Amino acid sequence: MHDPIGTDKEGNEITLIDVLGTETNEVVDAVQLKLASNKIYQHIHILDERQKEVIIGRFGLHQDKEKTQREIARELGISRSVV
């Protein structure tokens, strides 16, 4: 993200972060989230259906918003501690 990818008209180095025009932390967080999501998707097949629902809901996979333990517990009719 911070490696030079070229120069601007004045000869200053440009990085990918400069081109994206967003806050560094936002970009880093988005990349880390994508990498973590990919890891989850690679291994989610080993879980049973209820476990999958908990993980998908808790971490907001499939482009959904993250749900709290309480919300998931209510939806699945289980206790928060099970979530």
Question: What's the pLDDT tens digit per position in 12-36?
Answer: 888 877 777 666 677 777 788 888 8
pLDDT score for 47: 94
Provide the 8-state DSSP code for 78.
Answer: -
Separation between Cα atoms, residue 32 and residue 57, nearest integer Å: 19
Separation between Cα atoms, residue 58 and residue 52, nearest integer Å: 10
CB 74 within 8 A of CB 56: no
pLDDT score for 76: 92
67: CB partners within 8 A, 6+ apart:
57, 58, 60, 75
pLDDT digits (tens, 9 = 90+) for 32-56: 888 888 888 899 999 999 999 999 9
CB 7 within 8 A of CB 14: yes
